Chains A and B, each alone.
Chain A
């Protein structure tokens, strides 16, 4: 997935730091370093998954991309133009670029608005005429597998899976090019996850969307992604095409993550998802980080780099 042309979305050296409240009166110097100098890019039609455990910064990264979290430093580019910092576009302009689908279908819809209002109001806000609005709402509901005659109902009258479809419809109603999916199926019943996963993949094809998916469920990640980025305490430690990452997980953290998944079929076959020896780091370098359990969100990480080991497959290294 090399980019000869400018990628659709480009995150350059993004950092998001939060000042931590000190004592009663002072703001201490401590910073919560949620995201540390992260760079990544998303091409058109691609699904990039960001995986990691709690505290790794993937949610903060997702919020920054849709404009819900201002970065402390670094820039995000959409179609080559910066969308953070001094030259950032207005909220209305941004709304047509990237949208987000939230994890919890029970908290992501306004309980006092009908589905119709939740979908129509953004359209009206953006100047779509009344006659067009009805048609568009009907169209988008059909697209996500809902019956338009249910539009006048309230969120609590729908099941979790249906609410998630409404959330997806809302994200798509303004025709964005990028959709951030924040754990799109984690809060859903297991027997309906397939419906939503299939729907998301279909919509990506049909509407030529690009996804950034945040997930901790590696089997869903493997199924849906074109590329994967693994995060650890605010930094990407490994990234590459999905098959490269899953067939040849190189960074010790990625190996640890994949090795920890309880996969039923591997368990029964007695095999492990990660084979014994991993690929060693290139000469003169060491993986960063090598050990785990010693880091936290406050400490400043040492300088390190994402180095390509094979094609677009990169891992984080420090000089040995």
Chain B
């Protein structure tokens, strides 16, 4: 990705967990770029560090987590060099975030209209009256029916899908350049999920908003993203266009993952095949291996994998992989 197009450039990000005298690494050597208006996915399972990485983008990491290396360049500016006040001006305004659980992300004691209006008052200097009007428009833009009445609702008076729409309205209120979505539909039913994802796609396409989509669901990633980074135990295993990752996975982890999941339609054509298991379990932070973190579970592992962390290899076609034995 050429430098001029990049909206967000993350290089060699390193995040540690520090508690007392113990220092454990959570995320290491993570690099990726998101272009303007592009939807980029981060996929991985629990403990892979995708959520921590997302929080680092928006500057919400708190003790005991701490960024201990690397850079996050947003529109050319390294966010790690900004003061807390400068970061606060960006947050909600140019970089926004939506979370998995709308019930806990929204203030239960405040009407939703007010929570949306706050964005206009805080970042655009609007008066409360103007802001309330804009809040109604915002609710309409996320396809909430009867928005002028719904502005007065409290979160608990709305369904899960509706609450997620409110969160999207709050996030997109100030037309941010980047929207970070952390598992936005995991807690929703599958039909509601489909509606919310479609809404996000429409809104972000129309406004040219770039999206960093975090999910453990490969289907959601395939549907929404153009490029994806696969994370495992704090490392970026591969970062490639979505089609390439699914058709020709380069990293043994991705390959193993795709073979282990039951594929809709395959039983009909090939009969029920025993799923290919990946041996072992996802390591916990205290037990991360010294070299390649997937090495203990990898079929292709050799001695070098246990001792050295693999460097980033350019695969061409905008794809990168970190593996000594990639395809």
CB distance from B127 to the nearest CB of A (A): 36
Contact in complex: A195, B277 (CB < 8 Å): yes
Q: Within 8 Å CB of B275, what residues of A?
A: 194, 197-198, 223
Determine the residue in chain A with the shortest Cβ distance to B215.
A262
In angstroms, Cα B191 to Cα A170, docked, is: 34
Say whether chain B's binding surface is mostly helix, strand, loop, or mixed.
helix
Chain A residues with Cβ under 8 A from B45's Cβ?
189-191
Contact B219 A262 (CB under 8 A): yes
Contact indicator A261/B264 (Cβ below 8 Å): yes
Q: Say what secondary structure dominates the interface of chain A.
A: helix
Q: Determine if B247 and A191 form an interchain contact, defined as CB atoms under 8 angstroms apart.
A: no
Q: Is the CB of A261 within 8 A of B219?
A: yes
| A191-B278 contact in complex given A53-B190, A220-B262, A262-B197, C-beta closer than 8 Å | yes
Closest A-chain residue to B198, C-beta based? A260
Partner of A219, one of B191, B193, B262: B262
Measured between beta carbons, the chain B residues less than 8 angstroms from A292 are 191
B216 within 8 A of A: yes
Q: Which A42-79 residues sit within 8 Å CB-CB of chain B?
A: 53-54
A264 to B282, CA, bound (A): 23
B268 near A197 with CB under 8 A, answer no
Minimum CB–CB distance for A277 against chain B, Å:
19
How many residue pairs bridge A and B at CB < 8 Å? 113
Tell me how many residues of B have a C-beta within 8 Å of chain A. Answer: 40
A216 near B281 (CB under 8 angstroms)?
no
Q: Which residues of A contact B191 (CB under 8 A)?
A: 53, 256-257, 260, 292
The residues of B that contact A220 with a CB separation of less than 8 Å are 262
In the bound assembly, the distance between CA atoms of A263 and B265 in angstroms comes to 10
B15 interface hit (Cβ, 8 Å) = no
Whether the pair B261, A222 counts as a contact (CB closer than 8 A) is no
Determine whether the beta carbon of B222 is less than 8 Å from that of A197: no
Nearest CB of A to B223, in Å: 4
Structural contact, A265 and B246, CB atoms closer than 8 A: yes
Write 19 A-B pairs (CB below 8 A) sorted by A numbering: A53-B189, A189-B45, A189-B281, A191-B45, A191-B257, A191-B278, A194-B276, A195-B277, A197-B275, A201-B274, A218-B264, A223-B272, A260-B194, A261-B190, A262-B194, A262-B220, A264-B219, A265-B246, A267-B222
Binding site for B on A (CB under 8 A): 53-54, 159, 161-162, 189-195, 197-198, 201, 216, 218-220, 222-224, 242-243, 246-247, 256-257, 259-268, 273, 292
Q: 18 additional contacts, CB 8 Å, given A194-B261, A292-B191?
A: A159-B281, A189-B45, A191-B45, A191-B256, A197-B262, A216-B190, A219-B263, A222-B267, A243-B268, A246-B268, A259-B194, A260-B193, A260-B194, A261-B264, A263-B222, A264-B223, A266-B264, A268-B242
